[in-house]
Each structure stands twice: as C-alpha cells, then as structure tokens.
Amino acid sequence: MNERPIALLPELLLLGGAVGGLVLGLFLPRARQGLVRLVAAGTLVVVIVVSAVMAGGLAGPVFSGSYLVDVPLTVARIVVCAATLLVLALPGRDIVGHPRETEFYTLLLLAALGTIALAGAADLLLLVAAYLLASVPLYALAGFAKDAAGTEAALKYYLMGAFLGVTLLIGVTLLYGAGGATGYAELSRSLPGAPRVAVAVGALAVLAGLAFKLGAVPAHFWVPDVTEGASTPVAAFVTTVPKVGAVLAAYRLVGGPLLGAPGNWPLLVAILAAASMTLGNLAAFFQDSVRRLLAYSTISQVGYLLMAVAVAGRVELALPALTLYVAAYAVTNVGAFAVVAAARAGPRLADWQGLGRAQPALAVALVVCLLGLVGTPPTGVFVGKLTIFSAAADGGLGWLVVLAAVNTVASLFYYLRWIAPMFRAAPVRTGGEPSPRSVGWAGRTAVAAAVIAVALGIVAGPLLAAVGSA
C-alpha cells in the first residue's frame, strides 16, 4: 500500500518541532521562552532544506493514494515554511515575553503543518483533517491578545470556519455517497457516471470550505476583521499561508475528480475568481485603514490565483503558473505586513505621511511589495500574473483575462493611495505614541522579503521549468 513514512519526513519534522517546542516551553522560565522561537525557526529551516533535498525523489502517491508527494507539494512545503519563517520574525513586544509565548509559536507551526497537508491531500477525508488542522490553531491565534478586537475577530473567524467546515463535511459525505470512494483517483473514475445533483451539491459544498480557507468571495467576510483585529504577525500569516494549501487543494480537486464530473466546474471557479478580484478591489478602494486595505487586497489576489484553478488539468502551464504566483504572492504579502509591523506609523493611511524620510529603507521595501502585488515587473508576482494570464487565455477564458487586467489597473489606485503620502513631507507629530513593536527584526524581514520578491521574478524561468517538467 506504498506506505513510505520517509516521504512524509518534512511533515513529521514539522510536527516534531511543534511538539518539541511546546514541551520545551513548559520547562522554560517565562522570560526565556524566546528559545522556543529559535527552535521553531530552526525546525522551519530544516524542513525547507529537507524538502529541497527530497525534491524529485520519493515522488508519487503514498498511503493508499491519499497523499500526493510531487513537485507542487514540494513547492508548497518550502513556501509555507519560508513564509512562516518570515512571520516568526515579526512578533513585537505584545507577544515576546507574553505568558503564552510558547503557544504562539506552536500554534503557528501546527497551522503551517495543516496547510501543507491541505496542499498534498488527494483524498477527501484527509482534506477534512487538513482543513481542521489548518484552521483550529488560527482561531486561537486570532484571539491571542484577548482584547476586544481580537476576540471579535476570533469569534467571527471561528463561526464562519465552523459553519463552512460542516459544509465541507456534508460535501465530502455526498461525494462519497455519489462516487463510492474518497480517494481522488477513484473519484475521477466514478464521478462522471454519478448522480448529477448529488455531485453538484457535494462539490459545491467542498469548494465552499476551500473558499473559506482561501478567503475568496463569497466566504471572505472574516478576512478584513481578522486582519484588523488580530496582531500583525497573525494577520500576515492568516492572509498568506493558508491560501498556499487551499489553492493547491482546489487545483487538485478541480483538475482531478471534478474534471470529468457533471457540471461546469471550471466556469464556476472562473466566476468565483472574477467576483473575488472585483469585489476585493472595489472594497479596497476607499479604505483608510492600512490593514483593511491589505485585507481586501488579499481577497482580490485570490481571484488571480483562482484563474489558474479554473483551467486546472486543461492547460499545461496552469500548474507552474499557480505555484510561482502563490510563492511570489506569499513572500510579497508577508513583506507588506512586515513593513506594517516595523513602521513607526499609525493604522491610518494618513499616518504614513513622511515615512519615506523617517524610515527610507522600509518605505522602499513597501513600495517594492505593493507594486509587486500590482504585478509590476520584474517582481515574482509579475511573472506569476503573466503566466497565469497566459494559461487562462490559452484555456479559452479571454474574458476573465481582460477583467483581471482591468482589475490590476484598479488595484494600482489604492496601492498608490498608500505609497503617495509616504514621500510627502511629514506633518508635525503631536504627542507621538511610543511604538509597541520591536522594529529591528521586522524591518530586516521587510527588506529581505522585498529582495526575495524581486529575485523570484528574475529567477522565475528555472522555477517554472522545474514545476513544468514534473
């Protein structure tokens, strides 16, 4: 039954790191819990290295075909861990030295593990398990600070996640009933002949669950509240990392079992993509809050990601395009949040006036990240967008490509609303509030993320080739 635990070495290492960190934290004095952060960071580095070394080897389905070890999963492992590593550098004084500091890092690692499992799942039951593992730690993290905003965010997040989690379960049940199996390989064979309505409702319900993890329209209502209410590192993680797993899960589902199933699933995904990018952009237009602006921008980004899912299994370029986009997006988005964590600026756009003079490196990093999110060359997101647009056009979704291009221009408008004031002279500060954050590491992370965001675009060729040849 091809049970090769060694193929799951990265996942096992991550689990070991999470548990080990938790146990270590139990024995550490409260002031020394920073050590757990180092353990977590070390674990992530090891997982990245192991995943990279294992790439190509040990490929194929494992554990009765329920888990698919392939190049996209390798990319997901590396991207998830790298993004989590960047997030680990962000916590400021509101988390460092906190009585529950250890839990913070452990929960992050567990959520990362769940996301990777989501990306590799090739069985509906494993998909449910991964969904829960990727969600539950994040509910706790969203309310970590136990303040009013965080609690409200956690509650909203939890209610929506629980509701759509149950929907996902119902969908899995229906597909199992209709197709007689939960593995994607068997479902691909049985679903084309299965009862139409059961498959339609079941697949719709499963996709609804994934839409929640993606933060895609119409399951996006939690995104702005969590992004605004939770602490910056959590906001960065929640709007970035789960998408990596969810979008690959959606890709495997739409490009696998649903490809021959009754119902026009690519069209549905294309409509969801169009709705996400358009509504996300429209909502972002006149946001005054930096975090809400970023939140809506991530909703619109999901729309572009879903374009690749809409042509899944039909266009060869779709999978390389998707993995590149998701990798570039993850780094760029975490970079933008890192700037938010490191900048001595308030939550409103107007508070950022004059940052270009006060913290020039951060301002430049933010410009790179925001223009990167627009898809300005030569950043990684540009190449991702280019390839995704090409793949969608190749798959006959010309209308969606035109809409995405129009949306890209529209998104430039609100990013510029943020960039422009930074380079104006600063107003006289009245009673400056002391920043509760440690600037050092977050600032370095922001600059590093900006550099990686550009570098990914320049070395995109080999990356695409590696995924494409697999």
Distance CA 385, CA 373 (A): 10
* Min CB(94)–another protein separation in Å: 33
**Would you give the binding string for another protein spanning residues 333-372, x where CB under 8 A is met?**
--------------------------------------x-
Name which of 260 and 413 has its Cβ closer to another protein: 413
Report the nearest approach of another protein to the CB of residue 223 (Å). 25
Q: Which residues pair with 303 in a beta bridge?
A: none
Least separation, in Å, of the C-beta of 270 and another protein? 16
Min dist. Cβ of residue 308 to another protein (A): 13
Return the number of the residue (7 or 371) whose C-beta is nearest another protein. Answer: 371
Instruction: With CA atoms as reference, report the closest residue to 91 among 290, 298, 342.
Output: 342
Shortest distance (Å) from residue 321 CB to another protein: 8
Which is closer to another protein, CB of 290 or CB of 422?
A: 422
In this structure, what token pair is assigned to residue 330? 């993850």
Give min distance, CB of 45 to another protein, in A: 28
- CB nearer to another protein: give 249 or 367: 367
What does 90-125 look like in DSSP terms, one character per residue?
A: ---TTTTT-TTHHHHHHHHHHHHHHHHHHHHB-BHH
Query: In this complex, which beta carbon is closest to another protein, that of residue 39 or of residue 403?
Result: 403
- How far lies 450's CA from each of 196, 296, 343, 364, 414, in Å? 48, 20, 15, 9, 19
Cα 77 from chain centroid (whole Å): 12
The CB-of-419 to another protein minimum distance in angstroms stands at: 9
Q: CB 121 → another protein: shortest distance, Å?
A: 26
Which x/- pattern, by CB under 8 A, does the window 427-466 give for another protein? ---------------------------------xx--xx-
- The half-sphere exposure of 351 on its side-chain side, counting CA atoms within 13 A, is 15
For another protein, the closer of residues 242 and 372 by Cβ is 372
Strand partners, 123: 183
Site for another protein in 298-317 (CB under 8 A): 317
Cα separation, 466 vs 417, in Å, equals: 38
Contact in structure between 93 and 435 (CB atoms under 8 Å)? no
Residue 43 tokens, joined = 């674990």
CB of 356 to another protein, least distance (A): 9
Q: Which of 13, 147, 161, 32 is nearest to 99 (CA)?
A: 32
Nearer to another protein, 60 or 461 (CB): 461
Classify 68 as helix, strand or coil: strand
- Burial label for 54, CB within 10 Å (0-12, 13-18, 19+), is middle
Residue 185, token pair as written in the block: 């390989």
**Residues 366-425 contacting another protein, CB under 8 A:** 371, 376-378, 382-383, 386-387, 389-390, 393-394, 401-402, 405-406, 408-409, 412-413, 416, 420, 423-424
Cβ nearer to another protein, comparing 170 with 451 = 451
256, 320, 335, 372: residue in contact with another protein (rule CB under 8 A): 320
Taking the C-alpha atoms of residue 447 and residue 453, their distance in angstroms, rounded to an integer, is 10
For another protein, how many residues bind (rule: CB under 8 A)? Answer: 31
* 60 bridge partner residues: 69
Distance CA 108, CA 84 (A): 7
Minimum Å gap between C-beta 257 and another protein is 27
Angle at 248 between CA 395 and CA 295, to 5 degrees: 95
- Give 38 or 406: the residue with its C-beta nearer to another protein: 406
- 186 vs 351, which CB is nearer to another protein? 351
Q: Which chain residues interact with another protein by CB under 8 A?
A: 317, 320, 371, 376-378, 382-383, 386-387, 389-390, 393-394, 401-402, 405-406, 408-409, 412-413, 416, 420, 423-424, 460-461, 464-465, 468
